Amino acid sequence: MSISSKDKRVTTHRLLEMKQRGEKIAILTAYEYSIAKILDNTGIDVILVGDSASNVMAGHETTVPITLNEMIYHASGVVKGVKRALVVVDLPFGTYQGNSKEALSSAIRIMKETGASAVKMEGGAEVKESVIRILSAGIPVMGHLGLTPQSIHKFGTYVVRAQDKKEAEKLIEDAHLLEEAGVFGIVLEKIPAILGKKVAQSLKIPIIGIGAGNKVDGQILVLHDMLGITQEFSPRFLRRYHNLNKEIHNAVANYIDDVKKVKFPDEKEQY
Protein backbone atom coordinates (compact mmCIF):
# COMPACT_ATOMS: atom_id res chain seq x y z
CA MET A 1 0.00 0.00 0.00
CA SER A 2 1.42 3.44 -0.95
CA ILE A 3 1.69 6.19 1.69
CA SER A 4 -1.00 8.30 -0.03
CA SER A 5 -3.58 5.51 -0.23
CA LYS A 6 -2.70 4.54 3.35
CA ASP A 7 -3.54 8.03 4.58
CA LYS A 8 -6.54 8.76 2.37
CA ARG A 9 -9.93 8.54 4.05
CA VAL A 10 -11.84 5.39 3.07
CA THR A 11 -15.20 6.09 1.47
CA THR A 12 -17.94 3.79 0.17
CA HIS A 13 -16.87 4.81 -3.34
CA ARG A 14 -13.32 3.70 -2.59
CA LEU A 15 -14.55 0.28 -1.47
CA LEU A 16 -16.28 -0.08 -4.84
CA GLU A 17 -13.04 0.83 -6.63
CA MET A 18 -11.19 -1.76 -4.52
CA LYS A 19 -13.61 -4.44 -5.70
CA GLN A 20 -13.21 -3.28 -9.32
CA ARG A 21 -9.44 -3.64 -9.17
CA GLY A 22 -9.55 -6.89 -7.20
CA GLU A 23 -8.08 -5.46 -3.97
CA LYS A 24 -9.48 -7.30 -0.94
CA ILE A 25 -11.18 -5.29 1.80
CA ALA A 26 -10.19 -5.91 5.45
CA ILE A 27 -12.73 -5.14 8.19
CA LEU A 28 -12.69 -5.61 11.96
CA THR A 29 -15.04 -4.63 14.74
CA ALA A 30 -14.29 -2.07 17.46
CA TYR A 31 -16.41 -0.69 20.25
CA GLU A 32 -14.23 1.98 21.91
CA TYR A 33 -11.86 4.90 21.31
CA SER A 34 -8.46 3.43 22.28
CA ILE A 35 -8.82 0.19 20.30
CA ALA A 36 -10.28 2.04 17.31
CA LYS A 37 -7.22 4.29 17.27
CA ILE A 38 -4.88 1.27 17.17
CA LEU A 39 -6.92 -0.34 14.38
CA ASP A 40 -7.02 2.85 12.34
CA ASN A 41 -3.23 3.18 12.53
CA THR A 42 -2.82 -0.30 11.02
CA GLY A 43 -4.51 0.81 7.79
CA ILE A 44 -7.66 -1.30 8.26
CA ASP A 45 -10.20 -0.33 5.58
CA VAL A 46 -13.44 -0.38 7.57
CA ILE A 47 -14.29 -0.51 11.28
CA LEU A 48 -17.66 -1.96 12.17
CA VAL A 49 -19.19 -0.96 15.48
CA GLY A 50 -21.02 -4.27 15.50
CA ASP A 51 -23.93 -5.19 17.69
CA SER A 52 -21.61 -8.07 18.69
CA ALA A 53 -20.86 -5.49 21.41
CA SER A 54 -23.92 -7.04 23.02
CA ASN A 55 -21.93 -10.28 23.44
CA VAL A 56 -18.33 -9.18 23.91
CA MET A 57 -18.81 -5.88 25.75
CA ALA A 58 -22.09 -6.33 27.65
CA GLY A 59 -21.93 -10.12 28.20
CA HIS A 60 -25.38 -10.86 26.74
CA GLU A 61 -25.93 -14.27 25.16
CA THR A 62 -27.28 -12.78 21.92
CA THR A 63 -27.20 -9.49 20.02
CA VAL A 64 -30.91 -8.94 20.69
CA PRO A 65 -30.73 -6.90 23.96
CA ILE A 66 -28.32 -4.12 22.96
CA THR A 67 -30.03 -0.74 22.66
CA LEU A 68 -29.68 2.18 20.26
CA ASN A 69 -28.30 4.36 23.08
CA GLU A 70 -25.65 1.73 23.87
CA MET A 71 -24.66 1.47 20.18
CA ILE A 72 -24.41 5.27 20.03
CA TYR A 73 -22.18 5.27 23.13
CA HIS A 74 -19.80 2.70 21.58
CA ALA A 75 -19.81 4.31 18.13
CA SER A 76 -19.09 7.85 19.31
CA GLY A 77 -15.94 6.61 21.09
CA VAL A 78 -14.82 4.71 17.99
CA VAL A 79 -15.35 7.67 15.65
CA LYS A 80 -13.18 9.89 17.87
CA GLY A 81 -10.28 7.44 17.48
CA VAL A 82 -10.50 7.12 13.69
CA LYS A 83 -8.98 9.39 11.05
CA ARG A 84 -8.91 7.12 8.00
CA ALA A 85 -11.12 4.03 8.13
CA LEU A 86 -14.79 4.06 7.16
CA VAL A 87 -16.85 3.64 10.33
CA VAL A 88 -20.06 1.61 9.95
CA VAL A 89 -22.49 1.15 12.84
CA ASP A 90 -24.99 -1.69 13.30
CA LEU A 91 -28.61 -0.65 13.74
CA PRO A 92 -29.61 -2.79 16.73
CA PHE A 93 -32.53 -5.20 16.84
CA GLY A 94 -35.91 -3.51 17.13
CA THR A 95 -34.87 -0.15 15.73
CA TYR A 96 -35.58 -0.72 12.02
CA GLN A 97 -37.68 -3.86 11.49
CA GLY A 98 -41.29 -3.25 10.56
CA ASN A 99 -41.44 0.53 10.61
CA SER A 100 -39.40 2.48 8.06
CA LYS A 101 -40.10 5.83 9.76
CA GLU A 102 -38.62 4.55 13.00
CA ALA A 103 -35.75 3.00 11.01
CA LEU A 104 -34.91 6.39 9.53
CA SER A 105 -35.00 8.14 12.89
CA SER A 106 -32.71 5.42 14.38
CA ALA A 107 -30.24 5.85 11.50
CA ILE A 108 -30.38 9.65 11.81
CA ARG A 109 -29.61 9.41 15.54
CA ILE A 110 -26.56 7.25 14.76
CA MET A 111 -25.28 9.64 12.11
CA LYS A 112 -25.89 12.84 14.14
CA GLU A 113 -24.82 11.59 17.57
CA THR A 114 -21.75 9.53 16.58
CA GLY A 115 -20.30 11.07 13.43
CA ALA A 116 -20.11 7.63 11.76
CA SER A 117 -20.32 7.29 7.97
CA ALA A 118 -22.82 4.46 7.45
CA VAL A 119 -25.19 1.99 9.09
CA LYS A 120 -25.55 -1.78 8.70
CA MET A 121 -28.86 -3.65 8.77
CA GLU A 122 -29.69 -7.36 8.76
CA GLY A 123 -32.16 -8.86 6.28
CA GLY A 124 -33.36 -8.61 2.69
CA ALA A 125 -36.91 -8.20 1.36
CA GLU A 126 -38.31 -7.91 4.91
CA VAL A 127 -36.39 -4.66 5.55
CA LYS A 128 -36.44 -3.25 2.00
CA GLU A 129 -38.72 -0.34 2.85
CA SER A 130 -36.51 0.73 5.77
CA VAL A 131 -33.35 0.39 3.65
CA ILE A 132 -34.83 2.58 0.90
CA ARG A 133 -36.04 5.22 3.35
CA ILE A 134 -32.67 5.47 5.07
CA LEU A 135 -30.83 5.63 1.73
CA SER A 136 -33.18 8.35 0.51
CA ALA A 137 -32.03 10.50 3.44
CA GLY A 138 -28.47 10.24 2.14
CA ILE A 139 -27.28 7.69 4.70
CA PRO A 140 -25.11 4.89 3.25
CA VAL A 141 -26.36 1.40 4.16
CA MET A 142 -24.54 -1.92 4.32
CA GLY A 143 -26.61 -5.13 4.16
CA HIS A 144 -26.13 -8.36 6.09
CA LEU A 145 -27.46 -11.75 4.89
CA GLY A 146 -26.98 -15.43 5.69
CA LEU A 147 -26.68 -16.01 9.41
CA THR A 148 -28.21 -12.83 10.78
CA PRO A 149 -27.70 -13.05 14.56
CA GLN A 150 -30.58 -10.68 15.38
CA SER A 151 -32.90 -13.46 14.09
CA ILE A 152 -31.38 -16.16 16.29
CA HIS A 153 -34.72 -16.81 17.99
CA LYS A 154 -36.24 -17.55 14.56
CA PHE A 155 -33.32 -19.76 13.42
CA GLY A 156 -32.97 -21.46 16.83
CA THR A 157 -29.34 -22.33 16.05
CA TYR A 158 -26.09 -20.80 14.74
CA VAL A 159 -25.55 -23.49 12.05
CA VAL A 160 -24.42 -22.68 8.50
CA ARG A 161 -27.25 -20.95 6.60
CA ALA A 162 -28.46 -21.30 2.99
CA GLN A 163 -27.32 -24.89 2.59
CA ASP A 164 -30.56 -25.86 0.86
CA LYS A 165 -31.61 -24.61 -2.59
CA LYS A 166 -34.61 -22.60 -1.38
CA GLU A 167 -32.68 -20.60 1.21
CA ALA A 168 -29.73 -20.12 -1.18
CA GLU A 169 -32.06 -18.77 -3.89
CA LYS A 170 -33.71 -16.40 -1.39
CA LEU A 171 -30.27 -15.15 -0.33
CA ILE A 172 -29.27 -14.46 -3.96
CA GLU A 173 -32.59 -12.66 -4.56
CA ASP A 174 -32.13 -10.58 -1.41
CA ALA A 175 -28.57 -9.67 -2.37
CA HIS A 176 -29.76 -8.40 -5.78
CA LEU A 177 -32.66 -6.56 -4.16
CA LEU A 178 -30.28 -4.81 -1.74
CA GLU A 179 -27.89 -3.87 -4.54
CA GLU A 180 -30.76 -2.44 -6.60
CA ALA A 181 -31.98 -0.50 -3.56
CA GLY A 182 -28.53 1.12 -3.37
CA VAL A 183 -26.61 -0.45 -0.46
CA PHE A 184 -22.83 0.00 -0.81
CA GLY A 185 -21.87 -3.50 0.35
CA ILE A 186 -23.22 -6.68 1.92
CA VAL A 187 -21.88 -8.89 4.71
CA LEU A 188 -22.50 -12.60 4.15
CA GLU A 189 -22.25 -14.61 7.34
CA LYS A 190 -21.72 -18.36 7.70
CA ILE A 191 -22.86 -19.67 4.32
CA PRO A 192 -21.29 -22.19 1.88
CA ALA A 193 -18.17 -20.76 0.16
CA ILE A 194 -19.61 -21.61 -3.27
CA LEU A 195 -22.62 -19.40 -2.57
CA GLY A 196 -20.39 -16.57 -1.33
CA LYS A 197 -18.43 -16.76 -4.60
CA LYS A 198 -21.60 -16.76 -6.69
CA VAL A 199 -22.98 -13.66 -4.96
CA ALA A 200 -19.65 -11.80 -5.16
CA GLN A 201 -19.32 -12.58 -8.87
CA SER A 202 -22.85 -11.57 -9.77
CA LEU A 203 -22.97 -8.26 -7.87
CA LYS A 204 -21.08 -5.02 -8.53
CA ILE A 205 -20.93 -3.92 -4.87
CA PRO A 206 -18.36 -5.38 -2.43
CA ILE A 207 -19.38 -8.62 -0.70
CA ILE A 208 -17.72 -9.09 2.68
CA GLY A 209 -17.54 -12.56 4.18
CA ILE A 210 -17.45 -13.95 7.69
CA GLY A 211 -17.50 -17.68 7.14
CA ALA A 212 -18.34 -17.23 3.43
CA GLY A 213 -15.07 -18.45 1.90
CA ASN A 214 -12.23 -16.55 0.22
CA LYS A 215 -13.81 -15.80 -3.15
CA VAL A 216 -15.71 -12.81 -1.78
CA ASP A 217 -14.38 -9.22 -1.91
CA GLY A 218 -13.24 -8.90 1.68
CA GLN A 219 -13.36 -10.38 5.16
CA ILE A 220 -14.64 -9.29 8.56
CA LEU A 221 -13.96 -10.77 12.00
CA VAL A 222 -14.96 -9.76 15.50
CA LEU A 223 -11.80 -8.27 17.04
CA HIS A 224 -12.24 -10.00 20.42
CA ASP A 225 -12.49 -13.37 18.67
CA MET A 226 -9.49 -12.97 16.33
CA LEU A 227 -7.31 -11.65 19.18
CA GLY A 228 -8.25 -14.62 21.36
CA ILE A 229 -9.86 -12.57 24.12
CA THR A 230 -13.04 -14.64 23.82
CA GLN A 231 -12.31 -18.35 24.21
CA GLU A 232 -15.70 -20.03 24.31
CA PHE A 233 -16.59 -19.18 20.68
CA SER A 234 -14.75 -21.34 18.09
CA PRO A 235 -16.52 -21.60 14.74
CA ARG A 236 -14.55 -23.05 11.81
CA PHE A 237 -14.27 -19.66 10.09
CA LEU A 238 -12.51 -18.04 13.03
CA ARG A 239 -8.73 -17.73 12.78
CA ARG A 240 -7.18 -16.61 16.05
CA TYR A 241 -4.21 -14.32 15.45
CA HIS A 242 -3.25 -14.08 19.10
CA ASN A 243 -4.02 -15.47 22.54
CA LEU A 244 -4.70 -12.18 24.28
CA ASN A 245 -6.75 -13.92 26.95
CA LYS A 246 -3.58 -15.70 28.13
CA GLU A 247 -1.45 -12.55 27.76
CA ILE A 248 -3.87 -10.48 29.86
CA HIS A 249 -4.16 -13.26 32.43
CA ASN A 250 -0.37 -13.53 32.78
CA ALA A 251 0.15 -9.76 32.98
CA VAL A 252 -2.51 -9.40 35.68
CA ALA A 253 -1.12 -12.40 37.61
CA ASN A 254 2.35 -10.77 37.54
CA TYR A 255 0.88 -7.48 38.79
CA ILE A 256 -0.93 -9.20 41.68
CA ASP A 257 2.27 -11.02 42.61
CA ASP A 258 4.29 -7.77 42.54
CA VAL A 259 1.74 -5.95 44.72
CA LYS A 260 1.57 -8.79 47.27
CA LYS A 261 5.38 -9.03 47.50
CA VAL A 262 5.77 -5.22 47.59
CA LYS A 263 7.81 -5.33 44.37
CA PHE A 264 5.53 -2.70 42.84
CA PRO A 265 5.99 0.24 42.94
CA ASP A 266 9.79 0.34 43.18
CA GLU A 267 12.03 3.34 43.99
CA LYS A 268 11.75 4.79 40.46
CA GLU A 269 8.00 4.49 40.41
CA GLN A 270 7.31 6.74 43.38
CA TYR A 271 7.57 10.47 44.23
Interface residues with ligand KIV (CB under 6 A) are 29, 48, 50-52, 90, 187, 189, 210, 220, 222
Torsion sign over Cα 14, 28, 87, 190: positive
Query: Would you say 71 or 255 has its CB closer to ligand KIV?
Result: 71
Whichever of 6 and 213 has its CB closer to ligand KIV, that residue is 213
Q: Which residues fall within 8 angstroms of residue 93, CB to CB, at 6 or more apart?
A: 51, 63, 64, 66, 150
* Residue 228 Cβ vs ligand KIV, minimum distance, rounded to whole Å: 16
By beta carbon distance, the residue nearest ligand KIV is: 50
The least CB distance from residue 157 to ligand KIV, in Å, is 17
Give the integer Cα–Cα distance in Å for 113 and 72: 7
Residue of 32, 122, 189, 247 marked catalytic? 189
| CB of 235 vs ligand KIV, minimal distance in Å | 11
Between residues 134 and 222, which has the closer beta carbon with respect to ligand KIV? 222
Q: Which residue, 81 or 143, is less far from ligand KIV as judged by CB?
A: 143
- Cβ 107 vs Cβ 91: under 8 Å: yes
Residue 125's closest CA among 181, 202, 164, 192?
A: 181
Minimum separation from the CB atom of position 90 to ligand KIV (A): 5
Is residue 167 within 8 A of residue 161, CB to CB? The reply is: yes
61 noted as active-site residue: no
CA–CA gap between residue 15 and residue 208 (Å, rounded): 11
Active-site residues, by number, are 189
